[in-house]
Amino acid sequence: MAFSYTNKRGVIYFLHAKATTTKTGKTQTLYFFAKEKKAGVLEAVPQGYKVSETVNGLPVLKKT
């Protein structure tokens, strides 16, 4: 079951992760929310993060 977040306007977003490589060669994981389930959907919020909402109603991950 994918992790979903419903914002204050009632829109449902799904949490995704994507691994990328930086210019220096390090691997970095990018977390993002999307309205549809795509490749890389996560089942839970990563440890050390919490879901917050911007003024516009977009969900974002913040480190705790």
**What does the pLDDT look like over 15-54, one tens digit per residue?**
999 999 999 999 999 999 999 999 999 999 999 999 999 9
Determine the Cα–Cα distance for residues 46 and 44; give it in Å rounded to an integer: 6
| Paired tokens of 11 | 């829109």
Global pTM value? 0.88
Largest separation between any pair of C-alpha atoms in the chain: 40
Residue 46's domain comprises 4-63
Q: Give me the count of residues in the chain.
A: 64
Indicate the number of domains in the chain. Answer: 1
With a cut of 90, say whether residue 59 has pLDDT above it: yes
